[in-house]
Structure 1
Amino acid sequence: MMLVHGLGLSGRYFVPLARRLAASGASVVVPDLPGNARSRAAAHRAPDVGQLADALACLHQRLSLGPSVMVANSVGCQVAASLAARHPHLVSHLVLVGPALEPGISGWRQFVRLVADAPGEPLSLLPLAAFDYLVTGPLRCAASFQHSLRDAAESFEANLSQVRAPTLVVRGAGDTIASGTWIRRVAALVAAGRAQDIPGAAHAAHYSAPDAMAALIEKFTVGESG
């Protein structure tokens, strides 16, 4: 399994979920995307969504992972969708947690939604995220946000329509960023999609409800394989 973080962050906020998945016997890879956090120096400037997808594909092939379950959060869902569209042989299953950004929503409204989501997240996530944003840097975060908005407007839905891997779209019931209407549309765009809410969680449902998320992923992947 490969876990793909959101804009400006690192893989650290996936650690609780990674531990639970690994405890069930999965091999779990949690990279920092080039240009982000601890991998900031891996790119001279903020890569766009397609470049991040290709970088993940290179890492995947270098590690000889074989077809993998891709689990992504927020803007990481755009990267995972691009990866699945460009390199379908690398993806066995796709799990999209709080997919962002929703096409047709302005950057300002997306930012307001992000601020509104913060009170619903665990307090321990806020300093972790703030530290990662500072390491990535405000200019890199802003450039990545612009790349992501462009991808949402031009490519995200087209990439989703090319996804053939079974796909689970998950939303924390308190998520103010990814609406229920939007995640159902995402599930409808892919070839084999389903949508699921997690009660008591917000946008980073994998962090606040790792046990519930791990159980969903395990049931989804085992059920599809069976």
Structure 2
Amino acid sequence: MWWIIEPLLSMATYYVVFKLLLNRGTENYVAFLLIGLVTWQWFANAVSQSAASINANKDLVCQVRFPKLILPSVTILINTIKFLVTFVLLLLLMQFSTEGVSVAYFYLPIVLAVQLLLISACSYIAAIITTYVPDFQVLLPNLLRLMMFLSGIFYAVETLSPHYQQWFGMNPMWVVIDSFRKIFLTNSAPDLFSLMIIAALSICAIALTTLLMRRYDAQIPRVLLQR
């Protein structure tokens, strides 16, 4: 139940702040906000939990030899299952708050696949960094918070000045969230070129982190035991 209650509570909080108090909302703001929050929580929860996955399983890592990227991969899988449960409910909500299913819905698998690649890349990078630099786990929540406010979750980026909009363009999660909103709220196709760039960079990052973990696989238990 908390998989469902958590995004709803967050939505209620941000709705009061941004729509009622600051008056920064848009048309159909509940759907607008919920799409951003559900999508963001999948990313943020997977990355933050994956960062600590190797250190949290120190005893297992030091006793049994296995590919260490299995640990963040399991975390990604668990959070993906949670997201899919919430995403199904989001789809049902969209049927009541928008015009229903459109041709644009055929783009959903592409956007979901791109976000999964992005999550995997960021999770693997965070897991490797945290293994060697444990203090990164303290810095990570602040980086995610900054990234969250630059994702356009709470307000339409189009309402900001062009000077500030360029900062949002550097955030891949803004592209992903905007893609979902185009599909659900405007029944239009997402920016496939930007999505393909994110996918390509994510695949390169996944390949690089996999090679690094294979090379330093035997070193990781020694690093953990020295703490």
Scaled by the length of structure 2, the TM-score of the pair is: 0.25
More helix by share: 2
Scaled by the length of structure 1, the TM-score of the pair is: 0.25
Higher RCO (C-alpha under 8 Å, 6+ residues apart): 2
Larger radius of gyration: 2
